[in-house]
């Protein structure tokens, strides 16, 4: 990628450690504060988004975790705008990406994604980037909207390389279409490291192994660390989040993380601002 | 009150113990489940409303806690509808009742309150009643909307007697206007017992004393019990909520509560359905 060359990252191993789902519930924010890593993104349709935005971390690097799905039975989120295609019968976002992709009107999505970015700005934090909750913005027509919004707002965007399985749609034709959108978008792409579907009990070993073996490239390593509290335990995937929190405090994991050039989305945004946004 | 007579409550001491703010955050729902008292009301603009609605308590008696304010700095709620007069610059409800009353358009409020009741019904629980978060629906013109909605939906409503200080507006003229609305509304009124502004450390003693001394009448005794978790501790008034939770488990408090005829809003709704809604 040309930006990575411009930023003198060619041939290096660089990594953004990215805290997903800030604001989803309070224990996510608690983990962000306790861990102290700068980068993550906030879900604006949630009540605790306001707390996440009020972080006192001096080098906070926070984006908008663009949200189009509401995946739990007991904790749910509603769109900020009135698009009827965005919601199920209960008035919340669709539970699965499949349902969301089957129903969502791209025009209504565009209005909603813009509203979420504006809501981030209205919470008075420096929105450095956008990324996508559960990959729901990677429907090819929505990915185009997503990329256009990053360029318009002059912020960075998480854009995945599709070589691995992460973020690649199951349907081969859709995956091909998305690959075309990404190849032509002009924004830099990230290799993805995502422990989510790995067994929680082996989190530490998987992270050490995966990070150690990662070759040169610019990585977006996402995690979902949460404090282990009664609130977290009410969420179905709590073992994943508790394992991420414990794993990221592990000395060996910290050591292998330390072998990467630490990167933030603020850096990427600065690179884009210096070397030029596409379009 | 004629309904209380019809329901054979004249001269008796009857009480609805009411759990406010269900869904505000997860520890509120946890306390509801742990305490086991049937009656409370859910804030629909919150993520955890869905969990509150999924209670497995067999005799749950749940209403809609109509919400027009978003009082914290770190946990906030947005309207379900687009009324511009309902929100501050961040897109959330106004923080204080004073700000809300100064800005809210009654027409936009009516649309929002109806949407909150519909949102409760969409979560598939039996909505037995409405009540009002922080008394924000007691602006006299909004109180009229509130009463009309209860009558239209054939559900009960918390309507306070204004003899004490609770729910009576500070402005004497407004208080008089509200008193007129309530006197003419045709729905039964409740004496209010509200420990909120009492010192948390004396909660148990205050409840025992207040409940013991309460004369004949039908009471709405509201509380804000929450589990004492890190999530609760993130909320500014946590000592109040922790004290309510501890107080309601106290043997003496339970004893004095046991001296009242236990009433639910389902009972009140049944009474209204049997003896006739006004209008």
pLDDT tens-digit series, residues A38-90: 999 999 999 999 999 999 999 999 999 999 999 999 999 999 999 999 999 99
**Homologous superfamily assigned to A2-275:** Glycoside hydrolase/deacetylase (3.20.20.370)
Q: Using the beta-carbon criterion (under 8 Å), do A92 and B229 form an inter-chain contact?
A: no
Residues B203-214 have pLDDT tens digits of 999 999 999 999
ipTM at complex level: 0.92
CB contact B119 to A (< 8 Å)? yes
Q: Using the beta-carbon criterion (under 8 Å), do B48 and A229 form an inter-chain contact?
A: no
Query: Which of A112, A152, A108 shows the shortest CA–CA distance to A133?
Result: A112
- Alpha-carbon distance of B145 to A139, in angstroms, equals 43
Q: How many CB atoms lie within 10 A of CB A73?
A: 11
Positions of B marked active-site: 20, 224
Query: Which of B233, B68, B36 shows the shortest CA–CA distance to A227?
Result: B233
The H or E element containing residue B66 is strand B61-66
The answer to whether the CB of A103 falls within 8 A of the CB of A68 is no
Residues B22-63 have pLDDT tens digits of 999 999 999 999 999 999 999 999 999 999 999 999 999 999
- Residues on chain A touching B26 (C-beta within 8 angstroms): 25-26, 75, 230-231, 234
Start-to-end Cα distance in chain B: 16
| CA of B227 vs chain A CAs: smallest distance (Å) | 9
pLDDT of residue B162: 84
pLDDT of residue B197: 94
Query: Which of A56, A46, A13 shows the shortest CA–CA distance to A120?
Result: A46
- Residues on chain A touching B73 (C-beta within 8 angstroms): 50-51, 54
Tokens of A115: 């509203």
Q: Using the beta-carbon criterion (under 8 Å), do B54 and A75 form an inter-chain contact?
A: no
- Residues on chain A touching B30 (C-beta within 8 angstroms): 230, 234
Residue A189, classed as helix, strand or coil, is coil
State the alpha helices, DSSP H only, in B97-237. 97-103, 106-122, 140-153, 172-183, 203-213, 230-233
Whether A223 is catalytic: no
| CA of A79 vs chain B CAs: smallest distance (Å) | 9
Q: Using the beta-carbon criterion (under 8 Å), do B47 and A46 form an inter-chain contact?
A: yes
The answer to whether the CB of B85 falls within 8 A of the CB of B93 is no
Q: Which residue is it, tokens 């709590």?
A: A238
- Alpha-carbon distance of A231 to A216, in angstroms, equals 39
pTM recorded for the entire structure: 0.95
The β-bridge relationship of strands A191-194 and B261-262 is: unpaired
Of A20, A131, A194, A244, the active-site residue reads A20
Residues B148-199 have pLDDT tens digits of 999 999 999 999 998 766 787 889 999 999 999 999 999 999 999 999 999 9
The 8 Å CB, 24+ separation contacts for B237-243 are B239/B200, B240/B195, B240/B196, B240/B200, B241/B27, B241/B28, B241/B31, B242/B200, B243/B195, B243/B200, B243/B201, B243/B203
CB contact B189 to A (< 8 Å)? no
* Closest Cα in chain B to A116: B91
Length of chain A: 279
The β-bridge relationship of strands A13-22 and A261-262 is: parallel
The answer to whether the CB of B137 falls within 8 A of the CB of B143 is yes
pLDDT of residue B200: 96
A207 CB-contact burial (10 Å; exposed 0-12 / middle 13-18 / buried 19+): buried
Length of chain B: 279
pLDDT of residue B165: 67
* Interface mutation vs chain B, best among A22, A23, A25, A26, most B CBs within 10 Å: A26
pLDDT of residue A164: 65
Q: Find residue B192's DSSP bridge partners.
A: B220
Q: Using the beta-carbon criterion (under 8 Å), do A50 and B76 form an inter-chain contact?
A: yes
Tokens of B52: 């509150």
Mean pLDDT computed over B118-137: 97
Start-to-end Cα distance in chain A: 16
pLDDT of residue A163: 75
Q: Using the beta-carbon criterion (under 8 Å), do B30 and A230 form an inter-chain contact?
A: yes
Residues sharing a CB contact under 8 Å with residue B4, sequence separation 6 or more, in sequence order: B10, B14, B188, B218
DSSP string, A62-101: EEEEE------SSS----SS--GGGB-TTSSBPSSHHHHH
The answer to whether the CB of A8 falls within 8 A of the CB of A267 is no
- Alpha-carbon distance of A156 to A146, in angstroms, equals 11
Q: Using the beta-carbon criterion (under 8 Å), do B122 and A90 form an inter-chain contact?
A: yes
CB contact A234 to B (< 8 Å)? yes
Low-confidence ranges of chain A (pLDDT < 70): 1, 164-165
- Residues on chain B touching A76 (C-beta within 8 angstroms): 47, 49-50
- Residues on chain A touching B89 (C-beta within 8 angstroms): 122
Q: Which residue is it, tokens 């009643």?
A: B129
Of A133, A223, A224, A244, the active-site residue reads A224
Looking at residue A201, what DSSP letter applies?
G
- Alpha-carbon distance of B222 to B19, in angstroms, equals 6
Q: Using the beta-carbon criterion (under 8 Å), do A47 and B46 form an inter-chain contact?
A: yes
Q: Would you kindly state where each structural domain of chain A is located, as residue ranges?
A: 2-275
């Amino acid at each position: 990628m040309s930006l990575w060359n411009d930023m003198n990252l060619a041939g290096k191993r660089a990594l953004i450690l990215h805290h997903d789902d800030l604001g989803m519930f309070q224990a996510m924010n608690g983990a962000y504060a306790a861990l102290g890593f700068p980068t993550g993104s906030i879900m604006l349709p949630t009540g605790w988004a306001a707390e996440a935005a009020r972080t006192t971390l001096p080098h906070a690097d926070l984006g908008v975790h663009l949200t189009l799905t509401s995946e739990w039975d007991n904790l749910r989120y509603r769109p900020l705008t009135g698009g009827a295609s965005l919601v199920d019968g209960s008035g919340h976002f669709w539970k699965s990406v499949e349902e969301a992709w089957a129903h969502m009107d791209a025009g209504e999505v565009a209005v909603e994604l813009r509203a979420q970015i504006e809501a981030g700005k209205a919470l008075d934090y420096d929105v450095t980037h956008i990324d996508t909750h559960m990959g729901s913005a990677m429907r090819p027509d929505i990915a185009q909207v997503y990329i256009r919004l990053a360029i318009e707002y002059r912020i960075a965007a998480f854009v995945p390389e599709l070589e691995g399985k992460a973020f690649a749609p199951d349907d081969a034709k859709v995956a091909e279409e998305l690959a075309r959108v990404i190849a032509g978008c002009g924004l830099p792409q990230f290799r993805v490291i995502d422990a989510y579907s790995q067994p929680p009990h082996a989190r530490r070993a998987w992270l050490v192994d995966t990070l150690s073996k990662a070759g040169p490239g610019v990585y977006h390593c996402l995690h979902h660390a949460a404090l282990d509290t009664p609130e977290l335990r009410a969420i179905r995937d709590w073992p994943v989040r508790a394992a991420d929190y414990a794993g990221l405090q592990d000395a060996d994991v910290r050591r292998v993380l330390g072998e990467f050039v630490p990167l933030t989305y603020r850096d990427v945004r600065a690179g884009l601002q210096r070397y030029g946004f596409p379009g």
